[in-house]
Structures are given as C-alpha cells and as structure tokens.
Amino acid sequence: MIGIPFRAVVPPRRYCLAWMLALCHVAAAWTAPQSAVKTAPNAKKHATAAKEDPLAPLLRQATEAIDKENFTAALDPLQKYIAERAEDPYAHFQLGYAYAGLKRAQDAKLEFSRAIALDPKMGAAYLNLGLVLMDSDAAAAARAFRHAAELQPSESRPLFLAGFALEHAGDLKLAEEQYRAALALAPNDYEYNFALGRAQLRDGQSIEAETYFRKAIEARGDSAPARLGLANTLIAQQKHAPAIDALADYLKLNPADHAAHFDRASSLMELKRYDEALGELDLAEKDTPPTPDELKMRGNIYVQQQNWKDAAIVLAQGVQAAPHDADMPTWLGHAEIELREYPAAIKILAQAYADHPQSPDPLRYLINAFYLNEDYPATIGAMDRLAKLETPKPFSWFVRAICYDKLGHKAEAVSAYQNFLDQDHGEHDAESFQSRRRMVALQHELGQIPKGRK
C-alpha cells in the first residue's frame, strides 16, 4: 500500500521574523512570534525626566516616529541622544527596536546587547534580542528568552518564545519543557497548546500531541492549522476513520488544500473505501496536473478494484512521471498480464527487474508473463533468478514442473512434481492430482516403472 505522507502544520499567525523549518516528507513555512514590547520597563521614568532634560525632544521625536512605525525617522534623534548619553539603556533599547523594524538584525542585536549590559534586569531587551537572533542563532535566542522568563516569572510569553526557539534549533525535548511551563501559567492559550502539539508530533509522540491539538481546537474552533495537526496525529496513529473526519473538518475551512485531499484519499484507501478515495483524488487534482504520488495512488486503487484497463492507463502515466519508482512498473506489468498483453508486460517487467535487481516483485510477475506467453525456457530462467532472492514457494515447483514437462525434460519434470507434492501437503487438490498422473506417465516413459504397473 502507499504510505501516508506526513505534512507539517502551519502556525496561524504571520509575524515579522520569518524563517523556514523542514519536517520529514514536506517543508512548511513557519514564522517566529513577534514580541509586543515597544518600550522598556522604565519608559515612564524617562517620560517624566524628559520634562526637564535638554535631550528630551530627541527622545520624544524618536518615540513618536516609532509609534508610527517610521523607524528610519527614529534613527537620527536616537543616535544624537546616545552620542551625548551612551550610558542610557532605554535609548539603546529604542534604537535596537528601530533597527529591528528596519530588518537590520546585526545592528539591532548590538543595541539590545548594549541595553542589557547597562541594565541586566531589562527583561524586554532580552525578549527582543531573542527575536532578533531567531533567524541566525536559535539556540542563542532561546537563552535570551529564558533570561527574560527568569526576570518575568509571572509572564508566559517568554517561556513560549524559548520553546519556539528551541524547537527551531531542533531540541524538541527542551522545547516541550518550555511550552509546558508556559501552559502552566496560561493553560487555555491556543498558541501554546498548538505549539506543544506540533513539537510532540515532530518528536513522534502522536498520542500526546492529539491531546494538545484538541485543546487548541477547544480554544479556537475555527483554527484550520489545529485541525490539520489533529488529523496528522490520527494518521500517525493509523486511526484512519477519525482522521478522515478530522480532515473533512479541516477542508471545510481550507477547501483548496490539495495535499489534504490527498491525505484524506490515503486514509480512505487504507479502509478500502476506494470510490470515496478516488473522489478525493479528483479534488486533489482539481485545476492542477496529477503528481506522481497521485497517479500512483489512483493506479493502486484501480489495481485493488481489478479495473485493469484504467490501471494500465494511469500507471503508464505514473511510470513516465516517476521513472525511478520501484512499484508502479511492477503494478503496470501486472495490469498488462490481466489484460493478456503478455509481450508488453514482459517488456515492462524486464525493465523493472533491471532497474531493481534485488526486488523479487518484478521477477514474480515476470515469471507469470513468461509462463502465460508460453516461453518456458524464459520462465525457468526467471524462476532460477528468483530462487536466489527468496526460498521457492511450494506452488512454484508445480509451475517449474509444467515448464520442464512442456520442454520434454522428463527427469527434471518428475523431480519438480515430487518437490511440489512433498511441500504442498495437499493444499492444491487439482494440481496434486495432475502432478501424480504426470509423474506416473513420465516415469513409465523414462523406464523407471515397468510397463503394466501404475
């Protein structure tokens, strides 16, 4: 059967610091959470002191520009202020924030670091430093977020951000710890439950992940990503019936997701609900050419339904689309055998065997094609090659015996018939009867049984 592809779920928010993270079969775009911090904790102190400070207009000008997200306009007054008062951590924080808004990550990192050096208890600076570091050094970002969490023990956000950075760095166990700590402070938060479910799913803990995706759905019932995450956990547990329902719920929110239609078709196929699976494949292929995986699944379904004509058409397309696939040529050869197109089947299966000489499947079908095409020497040769890959099955001795018999190799035929009878233990009555009759006849011809005896 076709394996179910695992697809990453996509967090629902769009943030200012984008980064990519690949998961198993499919890469999905993730985005780093954005801090809401715009001012340091001592901003009010600066605002009060600014009334009598000759440099106050510079800070006020910069703050107004930042509030309007005109970060370029904030640079000059802040730089002038810092030139006169380099020891002020708040000014360095604001300058770092302006640089971050302009996506000048290195400059922002330097200013946030200066603010921290001047005021080691400025949790907001650690928080924003972590956000700036997320793309370039996720492990360092996690350290910055954890410092912020230590300075703000009642705040859940720094813990969540630490978990996010650790997940980005690939440390799933520590990431889960941070997410759990955030949930201890905010147990019903959608984003935290979603993140923990996502990390656990990536970590192979699909049962645990299911719990947190369900909690995320409770918190936000219209969340398509959480519903997709739940479906992925069910697929990972091979709970195909509930996965089908979960994907249906997800597709109500995101009906254009072709990959989700493919996943749903996969689960339907696992449950042998072939017609429904074909319907989902139709939706997956809507307005787009079918992918090799879609052709492979459709061909496999037609084979299961013994719809050999359509199977041959689709699998031929699949072989062209994915010439190195190990399964589709074999299935195509099988379909051609069922259609009694033996020369075509032989050509396809011989190439499949040449491409995958250690796979017994092409050889098994090639033996059938040779035999049905009445090419008995080729049948025996293919059986000899198969015997090097696996122990011959009892019935294969009967086929071998027939080939020897047809070729007039009487002694070899008698030996093969005997091997069949010794190993089959009467499971094939008609073939056992035929074998005994032919053995007697051949032994008479070989003079092994005197005339008149049976």
Asked whether the predicted pLDDT for residue 253 surpasses 60, the reply is yes
pLDDT digits (tens, 9 = 90+) for 259-293: 999 999 999 999 999 999 999 999 999 989 999 99
Per DSSP bridges, beta strands 26-32 and 17-23 are antiparallel
Q: Per-residue pLDDT for 14 more than 50?
A: no
Q: Which residue has the higher pLDDT, 10 or 408?
A: 408
Give the number of other Cβ atoms within 10 Å of residue 278's Cβ: 18
For residue 215, tell me if it sits in a domain.
no
Rounded-to-integer distance, Cα 204 and Cα 208, Å: 9
Cβ(46)–Cβ(59) under 8 Å?
yes
State residue 111's pLDDT score. 97
User: What sign does the CA torsion over 234, 237, 240, 242 have?
Assistant: negative
The number of distinct structural domains making up the chain is 1
SS3 4: coil
Long-range contacts of 364-372 (CB under 8 A, 24+ apart): 365/330, 365/333, 365/334, 365/337, 366/333, 367/396, 367/399, 368/337, 369/333, 369/336, 369/337, 369/342, 369/345, 370/346, 371/399, 371/402, 371/403, 372/337, 372/340, 372/342
Decide: 132 and 109 in contact? Cβ < 8 Å: yes
Q: Give the per-residue pLDDT at 447.
A: 86
Q: For residue 429, what pLDDT band results from cuts at 50, 70 and 90? A: very high
Q: Identify the pLDDT of residue 30.
A: 36
Rounded to an integer, what distance in angstroms lies between the CA atom of residue 213 and that of residue 192? 10
With beta carbons less than 8 A apart as the criterion, state whether 284 and 251 touch. no
We report the CATH number of the domain holding residue 70 as 1.25.40.10
**Domain membership flag for residue 297:** no
Placement of tokens 């397309």 in the chain: 317
> Is pLDDT above 90 for 37?
no
Of the given ranges (38-42, 77-81, 166-170, 419-423), which has the lowest mean pLDDT? 38-42
Give per-residue pLDDT as tens, 400-410. Answer: 999 999 999 99
What are φ and ψ of residue 26, in 5° steps? -140, 140
From residue 265, give the alpha-carbon distance in Å to each of 250, 255, 272, 276, 317.
Answer: 14, 14, 10, 7, 19
Identity of residue 320: Q
Share of the chain above pLDDT 90, in %: 85
Asked if residues 235 and 259 have their Cβ atoms less than 8 Å apart, the reply is no
Residue 122 has pLDDT above 90, yes or no: yes
Q: What is the pLDDT of residues 358-385, one digit of tens each?
A: 999 999 999 999 999 999 999 999 999 9
Cβ contacts of residue 215 below 8 Å, gap of 6+? Answer: 188, 193, 197
Closest by Cα among 120, 189, 130, 128 to 164: 130
- What pLDDT is attached to residue 448? 79
Instruction: Please check whether residue 454 lies inside any domain of the structure.
Output: no
Q: Note whether residue 305 is domain-resident.
A: no
Q: What is the mean pLDDT of the chain?
A: 89
Q: Does residue 35 carry a pLDDT above 50? A: no
Q: How many CB atoms lie under 10 A from the CB of residue 190?
A: 18
For 164-197, write each residue's pLDDT tens digit: 999 999 999 999 999 999 999 999 999 999 999 9
d(C-alpha 111, C-alpha 97), whole Å: 8
pLDDT (average), residues 130-143: 96
| Whether pLDDT at 229 is above 60 | yes
Average pLDDT (337-359) is: 97
pLDDT for position 450: 57
> Tokens 């929110």 label which residue?
253
What is the number of alpha carbons within 13 Å of residue 186 lying toward its C-beta? 20
Q: Where are the alpha helices (DSSP H) in 68-104?
A: 71-84, 89-101
Candidate from 16-20, 73-77, 384-388, 424-428 with smallest mean pLDDT: 16-20
The CA-based dihedral angle spanning residues 58, 64, 66, 67, taken in that order and rounded to the nearest 10 degrees: 160
Q: Is residue 209 part of a domain?
A: no
Domain presence at residue 312: no
Chain position carrying tokens 């499919």: 26
Task: Give pLDDT, residue 32.
Answer: 45
User: Does residue 342 sit within a domain?
Assistant: no
Question: Does pLDDT of 205 surpass 60?
Answer: yes
Mean pLDDT along residues 420-435:
93
The model carries a pTM of 0.79
Query: How much is the pLDDT for 46?
Result: 57
Beta bridge partners, 21, equal 28
204-237: buried (b, 16+ CB within 10 Å) or exposed (e) per residue? ebbebbbbbbbbbbebbeebbbbbbbbbbbbbbe
User: pLDDT value at position 20?
Assistant: 23
Q: 105: domain range?
A: 33-43+53-184
The CA-atom distances, in angstroms, between 122 and each of 78, 114, 126, 128, 148 are 19, 11, 7, 10, 8
What is the percent of the chain where pLDDT is above 70?
87
Are 209 and 233 a contacting pair, CB within 8 Å? yes
Strands (E), 24-170: 26-32
Token output for 55: 């440099």
Quote the pLDDT of residue 43: 52
Residue pointed to by tokens 């697809």: 7
Question: Residue 53's pLDDT is what?
Answer: 84
Q: For residue 355, tell me if it sits in a domain.
A: no
Residue 329 pLDDT exceeds 60:
yes
Question: Which residues, 6 or more positions from 26, have their beta carbon under 8 angstroms from its beta carbon?
Answer: 5, 6, 7, 8, 259
Contact predicate 142/32, CB 8 Å: no
